[in-house]
Structure 1
Amino acid sequence: MKAIVQNEYGTTDVLRLTDLPEPEAGPDGVVVQVRAAGVDPGVRHLMEGTPYLVRLMGFGVRRPKARVRGLDFAGIVHAVGENVTEFRPGDEVFGTCQGSFAEYALTTVDKLARKPGRLGFHEAAAVPISAFTALQALRDKGGITPRQKVLVIGAGGGVGGYAVQIAKAFGAEVDGVCSTGKVDLVRSLGADTVFDYTREDFTGGYDVILDTAGTRSLTSLRKCLTPLGTLVIVGGEGDGKWIGPVGRNLRALLLGPFVKHKLRGLFSTENREDLETLRALIEEGKLAPVIDRTYSLAEVPEAIRYAGEGHVRGKVVITV
């Protein structure tokens, strides 16, 4: 099979399109013929091995343990292990794995669900990682309830776009913050008010703030919360190559016990139950992916470079 492989950490120059043996299912695995794969910020971090904390978390200190990049995918079940009863060859599925930038990928049933019928493969591949993050940030960390006032910073990006829609599906009043070129998009996703951060700023009164941008201080964000409001920090950049965006999460964790606000960081987890929740929202017409650009498998390096520029409207997708 064709796959995008890296043997060392580095920029997109370390990525190569090459031939690898097709993966084998084993007793508990599921081999999927990949039809499309999503590009998320985690792909670049794992490619570069930065922040260096990533390497210490089990991804390989000197070189990446997993040679094939890519996490999100949608495709067709190719083969299943003898212990797998939930899926069979020919099923259309979406989910996550290690190595979706390839013609075939190995995953497990706990990271897999049937593809929503409303979506094509390229649309379904744009869902899992970013929508997992948005759902878990708002529901699990933010404790969102109907009629709350929610602010999503970075509302035109992958996580932010899903967060706006999920917050609306949960019955909240939702405002979004984005750049000029994404105002109409964020409004179309259901935001009640959209702030163009290059021209105006938001004020206060929010029950939940979800910050995906990472450019504002904890102090400035807390001023915009209600007295018992919740700030959820997801992603963002900064704090150098050692801890990167994790630094903001650590500062929030340290400050949390001394303030009335709830300060939360998030490292999303991949699981089938949340995939089914997202699938249900999609089938109900309450959640839809936004695709900025699509690239071929050979164009993965270009796709990662584009995604890293920070101007993506929604998601970037690889078609296989």
Structure 2
Amino acid sequence: MRAVVQERFGPPEVLRLQDVERPRPGAGQVLLRVCASSVNPYDWHMMRGDPYAARLTGGMGFRRPRHRVAGIDVAGVVEGAGPGVTGLAPGAEVLGFCPGAFAEFGCASAGLLVPKPPGLTFEQAAAVPMAAVTALRGIRTVGRVESGQRVLVNGAGGGVGTFAVQIAAALGAEVTAVCGADKAGLVRSLGAAHVLDRARQDFTDGRTRYDVILDNVGNRPPGRLRRALTPAGVLVANGGGSPGRVFGAIGSTLRVVAANAFTRQRLGPILPATPAGPAHADLLAVTALIEAGRVVPVVGRTYPLAEAADAVRHVEEGHARGKTVITVPGGVSGSPSGPP
């Protein structure tokens, strides 16, 4: 099969399309025919092996990538299953987490997959897993957003941001989106009541205060962000794209946690939406919102599998509109598999 292989840490050029052996599912795993995957900041951090502090945890490998085949988000069709798998028969259309998803086939833990909503294309479905679960955790789990609250989403036009705007609006919040001027129309269409141009307006000037701020950018210190919170407000830190090769998002997360000791406001990071944490219930919650018509995945650009390096480069540059999706030759794509 064809797969995007990474033998060492480095820039996008380390990602190479090669012929590799098709994986075999182990106990509790299913074999998927991959139809589409999507790119997250997680992917370029794994590609470059930074921040260095993350290598010590063992999640990305120390001297070389832990997973030889890149990618994590997946939408595809079940081809077979290993021992102990029930409820996922061949032919089932699913989405979820699959280490090595930038490939024609991949093996995923059955507990990290859920049925694909029939109204979604495989490209739309591939945009869901990491970004939507991260947004759900930020808005609902950490932010505890309630109807009538004021919620600000910084970095509203990207992958997590587009889901966060919709989830907050679905919960009845008054949403303010911070993004580039080119994405203003998009975030308004997703439910944002107000839009601030990140290049022209400073939401931390203290003029307006918010009950919850979801910060997807990490370009302002917690003390500055607190100025835009109500006295009992919540700052949710999602430093997925934070710069810094030594500590990166880990450093900004630690600063947020440390600040809790000195304020009535609640400051908290999002538990990363990766296979390291429980995700099945959150995936089901997100797909329920999609099936109810409350959330729609936003796909900005698509790339074929052979151009995966260009797709990762596009996301790393930080200006992606919604999600960037990689399509796999031979996978089922195009129109939804059923009625919307």
* Aligned mates of 2:113, 2:105 — CA distance in 1: 15
Q: What is the one-letter code of the residue matched to 2:54?
A: V
Quickly say closer, same or farther: Cα 1:2–1:177, change in 2 above 3 A. Answer: same
Q: How many angstroms does 1:145 deviate by? A: 1.2
Cα deviation per residue 1:29-79 (whole Å; 9 max; x = unaligned)?
A: 111100000101100000100001221121211111211110101000011
User: Paired residue for 1:67?
Assistant: 68
Runs of 4+ with deviation above 6 angstroms: none
SS in 2 for 1:255: helix
Find the residue that maps to 1:241 and give its secondary structure. coil
Q: Hey, what does 2:284 align to over in structure 1?
A: 276
How far is the alpha carbon of 1:18 from its aligned partner? 0.7
The aligned amino acid for 1:227 is P
Aligned partners of 1:261 and 1:136: how far apart in 2? 18
Check conservation: 2:2, 2:104, Cα contact below 8 A. yes
Gaps of 5+ in 1: none
CA distance in 2, matches of 1:63, 1:201: 41
Match of 1:312 in 2: 320
Partner of 1:82: 83
Match of 1:197 in 2: 198
Q: Is the 8 A contact 2:38 2:323 kept in 1?
A: yes
Q: Normalization by structure 1: what TM-score?
A: 0.97
Separation (CA, whole Å) in 1 of partners of 2:82 and 2:109: 10
C-alpha distance in structure 1 between counterparts of 2:138 and 2:27, whole Å? 34
Residue 28 of structure 1 deviates from its aligned partner by 1.5
Aligned to 1:102: 103
CA contact (8 A) 1:46 1:54 kept: no
Aligned-residue CA RMSD in angstroms?
Answer: 1.2
Cα pair 2:137 2:271 within 8 Å, conserved: no
Distance 1:237 1:127 in 2: 18
Equivalence map 1:1-320=2 (5 Å): 1-58=1-58, 59-202=60-203, 203-235=207-239, 237-238=241-242, 240-270=244-274, 271-320=279-328
Q: CA offsets per residue over residues 120-166 of structure 1, 9 Å max, x none?
A: 00000001100010000111111111111100000001001100000
1:269 CA displacement: 3.4
- 1:73 aligned counterpart, secondary structure: strand
**Cα distance, 1:237 vs. partner?**
4.6
Q: Quick check: 2:239–2:253 contact (8 Å CA) kept in 1?
A: no
Q: How far apart, CA to CA, are the structure 2 residues paired with 1:15 and 1:177?
A: 32
**Contact 1:157-1:312 within 8 A present in 2 as well:** yes
Q: Equivalents in 1 of 2:96, 2:189: separation in Å? A: 26
SS for the counterpart of 1:130 is helix
Give the TM-score taking structure 2 as reference length.
0.92
Query: Matched residues, percent identical?
Result: 48
The Cα shift of 1:16 comes to 1.0
Q: Distance in 1 between matches of 2:53 and 2:93?
A: 36
Mark the runs of 5 or more structure 2 residues left unpaired by the alignment: 329-340
